[in-house]
A and B are shown apart, each in its own frame.
Chain A
Amino acid sequence: MKRYLAPLLITGILVSAHLSFGILEGYSRTGLAILVAIAAEMIMGRLTYGRWPHPASAYITGISVGILVRSPFLWTYVLCSLVSITTKYVFRYRDRHLWNPSNFGVSALLFLAPASASLLSIQWGNVIWPMVVIWILGSVIVWRVGRLHISATYVASFLGLSFVQSALTGNPWLAIVAPITGPMYQLFIFFMVTDPKTTVRSTRGQMLVVFLVAVAEMVLRLNEVVYAPFYALFLVGPSAILIDEWLRSRETARSLSPAM
């Protein structure tokens, strides 16, 4: 059941937001992104592992792309989904993939095709209740899957560092924290930084990594990078996994070595 919680939450968010505020230009683009992600996962998973993979992960990737990417061009949805899934099969270390798939996909799209696409960067409506619902539902679900500490650490870090940013830039504090009140951040907080496949294993390590993501994001924000959270996770996430794996291999080697 746990496996379906995240897909159900993100689908619920998408459908209710679209019905309430018409956030999508139509279902076709999001549908296309989902379709491509699942198809790519099925083909690559089957060929690589000899069995059909569960589509839940690809579904989340596809729907995330469909919600996040804003573009008049259908190809952006197709390629973003395809790149996202493909990275799972290309960038692997000790049987773990290094990047959160949609984080890689949207980062690549923004970096390589800036004239063709942007990301969701607005409120859904002009009232707070959609965000409150997402916060409550999202918190319950990540708590059920044992990852609430990651989301909570990120939010606390973001808010804490926003005072530093405000002091350094002279901008109003409310302007600095404005982004976290938007839906783009909810997807980031509940679905990207908590991705079990691309986070380190220890609880403390997870909290440290997500704090470092917030720090990297602040550095990028001070350099006026609009989509700072995605790039921050893009940079910090894989580095953390590599270090995590290296530390684990050292521990394993130590435990296997004969006692002196």
Chain B
Amino acid sequence: MNARALWMVWCVVLVASLVAMVQLNRASVGTVATNNRFGFSLTESARSLGVDFVHQAPVFDRRLEHIMPQVASVGAAVAVADFDRDGWPDFYVTSSADGSLNRLYKNQGNGTFRDVAGEVGLADVNRAGTGVSMGAVWGDYDDDGYEDLFLYKYGRPELFHNDAGKGFTPVSERAGLPAWVNANTAVWLDYDRDGRLDLFLPGYWSEDIDLAHLKTTKIMPESFEYAENGGRKYLFHNLGGGRFEEVSEKLGIKSRRWTLATAAADLTGSGFPDLFLANDYGIPQLYINKGGKQFVESGKEAGVARTPKSGMNASFGDIFNDGRLSIYKTNISEPGVLVQANDLWVPKKNAAAGSPAYDDVATSVGVDLGGWSWGAQFGDLNNDGMLDLYLTNGYISAGERSSYWYDFAVIAVGHSAIIGDAANWPPMKGRSLSGYQRKRVWLNDGLGRFTDVAQVVGVTDTYDGRSVALADLSNRGVLDVIVANQRGPLLIYRNAVQPGRHWIELALEGSASNRSAIGARVEVQWNGHTQVQEVHGGNGFSSQNDRRLHYGLGAATKIDRLVIRWPSGQGRTQTIENPAIDTFLRVKEPA
């Protein structure tokens, strides 16, 4: 071949490669559905349900004024529980401005909600000098049958005892909680299986910082992806009698990473709950629970902590219906600037017992690119028997035609002496940073592929979403979606699933185990499927789903059996053969 002809060949190779880049880039954004043939639709209905809550962001020290939208970018949170035991799920939402009021929406059972936070003493919790709310988790720490509330803040954390559903009494002092923690997440768990709920509270900002009254502007992360100057972690062991003992260091949890989300589940089959921490500015952490006596950080060995990213969510789901809990962590993806991609870690089938090992399959199944992703929850939204994934996103929506991304990218690469001082950060000047983003509702086809159906099923908002919670708000056998938006309205997407799809919902109550049954593991077997779910004491980002477990069954008209492993020290399992479907099943742990 002569030189000219060869040159022509190389030209063709180059052009073909460039065209392939364009085509593959288009394909990489995932499959987006264009018509609704998925058997469900979501309708935003908050106002018609009587919910008119709008989150108010905090205002911190004026030396942070130039980057206030960033440092005040969190605090919109939602946690679901039936606080008055009337059989209808209620929910608590947080606001974050000084003096703003949190709300407790009581489900009136007639399709509407009423704010009762003021009546029960849970509204006025953002008083000046006490810090501002970041989120809350429900858990019955004293096993009296009523869900108590733990409120975490950039400020003084508060534990509220539920007085038989009629009021809440602050009991933080007796509980021995610290004076100040800057946290964005907390989770109830019974780490030592003594039948009492313990509490894990990992900090984000260092606890010696009061963002409203700074001593210095050198408060920022020391690195965009390797920061270890965040808040300390607290693990409160429930001693009974309303008292707790802080045991984190004693049990091996010494991290100072910037934790934004945490969740607990038994990931090793040991019967003890392990802890997963999604950290901003760094690698996530996986603390394996060694018999309730020690936590061993095993993220690197397990394959989940190889790459530092900006972790913002921690949730678990059995996405293949084979009894394995995958971990979903959200991160940042901004086209052309920063493509971290979200992570979906699926346990390897051949991992040694007690030593979890994971493969990241987010890209291959299509749940990797979700913008500046925040809260995400697994749930069977169309009752077809497979867990789907709802994700909210968007960081700061301000000027629609101006972006802070350039300045953000410049400072993010800076050495710790530069990035670590807020005074060096370029002013935002009303610009957006990954704002106005479209949400994702990824539908699991059961064949290893997720399709984004958000736009066609009705999820069209572009608020700065933070917290997502799933609950069957009307006891209809379908999962509704509650989304808390930063500086935006609380949204309730009411779900309508086409007839002919079956379901079962389980409300568990522990006896030897903690009464909330947090940590209980339920395996539902039907028609060749085996789906595992656990009762969580908080997961996602600053959120908590209803404790009732919801299983879609598709067209199946029969469940073979369900197996409940209670989280008590006995590790007791309970099998129920052929339970009824399309109904709520209340199961109390056998005495």
Point out residues on A near B: beta carbons under 8 Å. Answer: 21-22, 24-26, 44, 47-48, 70-73, 75-76, 79, 82-83, 86-87, 89-90, 108-110, 112-118, 121-128, 131, 169-172, 174-179, 181-182, 184, 221, 224-226
Contacts and interface: CB of A to CB of B under 8 A. Distances in A.
B223 A126 contact: yes
B28 A126 contact: no
Contact of A73 (B283, B363, B409, B411): B363
Contacts, number: 177
A79 B339 contact: no
B161 to A, nearest CB: 42
B306 A122 contact: no
B253 interface: no
B372 interface: no
Given A72-B339, A179-B414, A225-B406, A116 B24 contact: yes
A71 B339 contact: yes
B418 interface: yes
Nearest to B423: A172
A19 B340 CA distance: 20
Closest 4 CB pairs of A and B: A178-B414, A114-B336, A224-B406, A113-B25
A125 B226 contact: yes
Interface in B1-26: 1, 3, 6-7, 10-11, 13-14, 17-18, 20-22, 24-25
A118 B414 contact: no
Interface in B437-496: none
Nearest to A182: B413
B225 A122 contact: yes
Contacts of A118: 334, 336-339
Contact of B410 (A26, A47, A73, A179): A179
A181 B21 CA distance: 31
Contacts of A48: 3, 6, 10
A26 B306 contact: yes
B306 A226 contact: no
B339 A115 contact: yes
22 contacts: A25-B306, A83-B21, A87-B14, A112-B21, A113-B24, A116-B339, A118-B334, A121-B338, A121-B413, A123-B223, A123-B224, A123-B414, A123-B415, A128-B415, A128-B416, A131-B415, A172-B424, A175-B411, A177-B418, A178-B418, A178-B424, A226-B410
Contacts of B28: 73, 113, 115-116
A86 B338 contact: no
A174 B418 contact: yes
Given A22-B306, A123-B416, A72 B406 contact: no
Contacts of A177: 418
Given A22-B283, A72-B341, A115-B339, 16 more contacts: A83-B14, A83-B17, A89-B7, A112-B22, A112-B25, A113-B24, A114-B25, A118-B334, A123-B226, A123-B414, A123-B419, A125-B226, A127-B416, A172-B425, A175-B425, A224-B405
A176 B369 CA distance: 30
Contacts of B222: 126
B389 interface: no
Given A22-B308, A118-B339, A128-B415, A113 B22 contact: yes
Interface in B81-121: none
Interface string B45-85: 00000000000000000000000000000000000000000
B369 A115 contact: yes
A122 B280 CA distance: 14
Contact of A226 (B6, B24, B224, B409): B409
Contacts of B417: 128
Listed residue (B1, B407, B410) with the most chain A CB atoms within 10 angstroms of its CB: B410
B424 to A, nearest CB: 5
A175 B424 contact: yes
Contact of B336 (A170, A174, A226): A226
B339 A70 contact: yes
B372 to A, nearest CB: 13
A116 B18 CA distance: 14
Nearest to A47: B6
B226 A21 contact: yes
Contacts of B514: none
A225 B333 CA distance: 17
A22 B362 CA distance: 20
A179 B424 CA distance: 13
Contact of B18 (A108, A126, A131, A174): A108
B226 A126 contact: yes
B403 interface: yes
Contacts of A123: 223-226, 413-416, 419
Contacts of A172: 423-426
B335 A82 contact: no
Interface string B24-49: 11001100000000000000000000
B193 to A, nearest CB: 34
